[in-house]
């Protein structure tokens, strides 16, 4: 009877064990592909986000330079203001190698970040005989000591300049060798044209391609994984390989063709045919190890790059595979020793395996809930704990990727806030600039029109300031501008008032809802306050620095514009100058 009980049970036990093994292996393979696919997508998104954020930052910096040049914030003629401008902006962008402008006459100005982190400014014009001279900077961001010279550098012959001129719009250059660092580089170029559509210059922001390699190196690809980027010419742009992605030829750098990379895994990946199944990663076996190969395209900002992500199966699921093999071994051993307990063994094995299968399916759907651990000491318990450990690691990896993307986004937002604040502040005096004044005047005009308020405007000019600069030097002139700007800014006390630098030695004060008597009193207070500074000016008939103020005010109407008020204040200032300077004149048309 025992034989009749055992032998009929053998087929049932065989089928049961085979069924359990089939469920386990199928669920494991399915979840492996889905989890790796999700992990690959997360890494691709991180690379794409990192690249797009950096490239957009470069374009935003160029656009801001263009706006500042057009509105007078960036004065290329003034050596002091030009060098302070470029050095202050590159300090805010730690990933930028250089920001600069090349002009049609061959001149070249900007600031660069050296390998040791030092900021230097560059001068290249007729005074340097067409050579690029690099200077260290002082605490004000101005050129101090000559550090390095590069003769015969003409920006008009560089790829970033020629490609931008040909495109007549913002563009990223192709990869080229930087003439100083001797490394591959890309440049965000931005051509600037004047009102007659003549080229004024080409702004540029340099990125060394080494930053992309650092980004790839931060990805959680495992101990045996690789990530590399290939351009549309089949050249290696960046990778996690232990090689330099370029070679030095004739004093310059050239990218290495991907076909020349001496790595069996890389060559196997690029030799794979196109794979169109988006629900499953293709596999390749190299030296007895199985790898999953993910491929994506980056087609932004004119780039045509392919990104390969290679992950070793054993790096992520080695413990799970070992536990599965041990569980299968235990089940086979139980088959030989426990025929009488076939039903009991089968029932006991099916339940935890089904639980593991369901957990694997949930894990593949992104539900990273742990499987309850009942403290079993057998292989099923180990398999449960292995799955839980795998889920924990995947959860940590996904959380790390999301945290990295969030951190990069927050950093970009903070940098954008700093750039916006800088774009509204005069770099020399520290008070609002012309751009801020134009925006505030428009807003104040609309407010006054709505509530029937009076708008007052002071146009202020420092008397004989050019003679002052010629006599005492530009440094003294800058100190005087700062002192007068601080005094004027301190007089505009109310939240609706605005004092700003209009340009050069001119300042403006915008006053809302104040009667003419109050406007004239405030203007006289400013004039006398500057006179009281008692700044020596030997070329002035007053023997000190003085100002002239033109005052205009009006009640806005639908038929008037802010430009009318500016013109009236300017006319009053002209009268103050003609009448002997150091006085306040009210425009006769003010009502």
Same domain assignment for residues 438 and 567? yes
**Domain assignment present for 572:** yes
Q: Is the Cβ–Cβ distance between 228 and 308 less than 8 Å?
A: yes
Query: Given this model, what pLDDT does residue 221 score?
Result: 75
Domain finish residue from 420, 450, 465: 420
Do both 379 and 484 map to the same domain?
A: no
Q: Based on the domain organization, do 557 and 477 belong to the same domain?
A: yes
- Condensed to tens digits (0 to 9), the pLDDT of residues 7-42 reads 666 676 677 667 666 676 666 666 666 776 777 778
- Report the CATH number at residue 500: 3.30.70.270
Indicate whether 453 and 518 sit together in one domain: yes
| pLDDT attached to residue 5 | 47
Cα gap 401→245, rounded to integer Å = 26
Q: What are the structure tokens assigned to 226, written together? A: 């690789």
Q: How far apart are CA 529 and CA 346, in angstroms?
A: 98
Boundary residue ending a domain (369, 397, 420): 420
Instruction: Report phi then psi at 566, rounded to 5.
Output: -60, -45
Q: 459 Cβ partners below 8 Å, 6+ apart?
A: 502, 506, 508, 549, 550, 552, 566, 569, 570, 572, 573
Residues 402 and 543 in one domain: no
List, for residues 215-242, the tens digit of each pLDDT value: 777 777 777 788 889 888 888 888 887 7
Q: Which structural domain, as residue segments, surrounds residue 566?
A: 434-586
Number of structural domains (the chain) is: 2
* Residue 162 within a domain: no
- Say whether both 463 and 359 belong to one domain: no
* In a domain? residue 63: no
The pLDDT of 337-365, averaged and rounded, is 63
Q: Are residues 467 and 407 in the same domain?
A: no
Which has the closest alpha carbon to 187: 89, 304, 307, 98?
A: 98
Q: What 8-state DSSP symbol labels residue 480?
A: H
Residue 399: inside a domain = yes
Are residues 454 and 521 both part of a single domain? yes
Q: Is residue 571 part of a domain?
A: yes
Claim to verify: residue 438 and residue 581 sit in the same structural domain: yes
Structure confidence by residue, pLDDT tens digits, 391-437: 677 767 666 776 776 777 677 677 766 666 657 899 999 999 999 99
| Res 40: pLDDT | 74
Final residue before a domain boundary, out of 392, 420, 448:
420
My answer on whether 561 and 440 are in the same domain is yes
Alpha-carbon distance of 423 to 65, in angstroms, equals 9
**Overall residue count recorded for the chain in this entry:** 591
Residues 415 and 516 in one domain: no
Q: pTM of the predicted model, to two decimals?
A: 0.49
Is the CB of residue 511 less than 8 Å from the CB of residue 456? Answer: yes
With respect to residue 483, please indicate whether it lies within any of the assigned structural domains. Answer: yes
Residues 192 and 203: beta-carbon distance below 8 Å: yes
Q: What does the pLDDT look like over 500-541, one tens digit per residue?
A: 999 999 999 999 999 999 999 999 999 999 999 999 999 999
Would residue 445 count as lying in a domain?
yes
Residue 74 region, left (φ>0) first, then alpha (ψ -120 to 50), else beta? beta
What is the mean pLDDT of the segment spanning 568-576? 97
Shared domain check, 439 and 496:
yes
Helix residue ranges per DSSP H, 218-312 = 264-270
Residue 300 lies in a domain: no
Q: Which two tokens stand for residue 353?
A: 């395996």
């Amino acid at each position: 009877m025992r034989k009749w009980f055992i032998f009929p049970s053998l087929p049932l036990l065989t089928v049961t064990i085979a069924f359990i093994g089939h469920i386990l292996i199928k669920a494991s393979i399915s979840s492996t592909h889905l989890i790796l696919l999700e992990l690959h997508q997360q890494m691709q998104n991180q690379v794409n986000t990192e690249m797009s954020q950096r490239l957009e930052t470069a374009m935003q910096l160029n656009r801001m330079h263009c706006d500042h040049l057009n509105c007078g914030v960036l004065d290329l003629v003034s050596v002091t203001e030009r060098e302070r401008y470029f050095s202050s902006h590159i300090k805010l962008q730690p990933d930028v190698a250089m920001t600069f402008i090349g002009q049609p006459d061959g001149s070249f100005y900007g600031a660069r970040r050296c390998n040791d982190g030092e900021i230097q400014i560059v001068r290249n014009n007729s005074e340097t005989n067409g050579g690029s001279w690099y200077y260290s900077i002082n605490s004000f961001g101005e050129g101090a000591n000559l550090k390095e010279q590069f003769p015969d550098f003409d920006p008009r012959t560089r790829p970033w300049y020629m490609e931008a001129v040909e495109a007549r719009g913002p563009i990223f250059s192709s990869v080229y060798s930087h003439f100083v660092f001797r490394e591959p580089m890309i440049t965000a170029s931005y051509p600037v044209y004047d009102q007659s559509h003549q080229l004024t210059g080409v702004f540029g922001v340099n990125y060394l391609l080494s930053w992309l390699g650092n980004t790839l190196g931060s990805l959680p690809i495992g101990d045996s994984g690789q990530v590399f980027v290939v351009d549309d010419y089949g050249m290696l742009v960046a990778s996690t390989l232990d090689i330099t992605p370029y070679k030095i030829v004739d004093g310059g750098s050239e990218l290495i063709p991907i076909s020349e990379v001496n790595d069996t895994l890389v060559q196997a990946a690029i030799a794979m045919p196109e794979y169109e199944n988006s629900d499953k990663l293709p596999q390749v076996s190299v030296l007895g190890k199985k790898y999953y190969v993910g491929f994506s395209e980056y087609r932004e900002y004119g780039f045509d790059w392919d990104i390969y992500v290679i992950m070793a199966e054993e790096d992520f699921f080695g413990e799970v595979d070992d536990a599965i093999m041990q569980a299968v071994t235990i089940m086979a051993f139980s088959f030989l020793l426990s025929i009488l307990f076939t039903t009991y063994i089968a029932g006991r094995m099916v339940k935890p395996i089904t639980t593991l299968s369901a957990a694997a399916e949930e894990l593949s759907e992104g539900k990273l809930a742990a499987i309850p651990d009942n403290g079993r000491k057998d292989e099923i318990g180990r398999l449960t704990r292995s799955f839980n450990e795998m889920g924990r690691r995947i959860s940590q990896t996904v959380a790390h990727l999301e945290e990295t993307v969030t951190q990069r986004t927050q950093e970009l937002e903070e940098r954008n806030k700093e750039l916006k604040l800088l774009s509204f502040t005069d770099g020399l005096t520290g008070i609002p600039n012309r751009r801020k004044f134009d925006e505030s005047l428009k807003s104040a005009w609309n407010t006054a029109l709505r509530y029937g308020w009076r708008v007052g405007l002071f146009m202020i000019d420092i008397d004989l300031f050019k003679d002052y600069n010629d006599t005492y030097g530009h440094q003294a002139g800058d100190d005087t501008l700062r002192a007068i700007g601080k005094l004027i800014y301190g007089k505009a006390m109310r939240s609706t008032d605005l004092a700003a630098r209009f340009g050069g030695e001119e300042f403006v004060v915008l006053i809302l809802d104040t009667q003419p008597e109050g406007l004239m009193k405030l203007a006289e207070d400013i004039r006398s306050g500057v006179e009281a500074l008692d700044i020596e000016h030997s070329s002035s008939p007053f023997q000190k620095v003085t100002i002239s103020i033109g005052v205009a005010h009006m009640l806005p109407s639908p038929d008037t514009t802010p430009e009318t008020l500016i013109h009236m204040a300017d006319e009053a200032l002209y009268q103050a100058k003609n009448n002997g300077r150091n006085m306040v004149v009210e425009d006769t048309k003010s009502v």
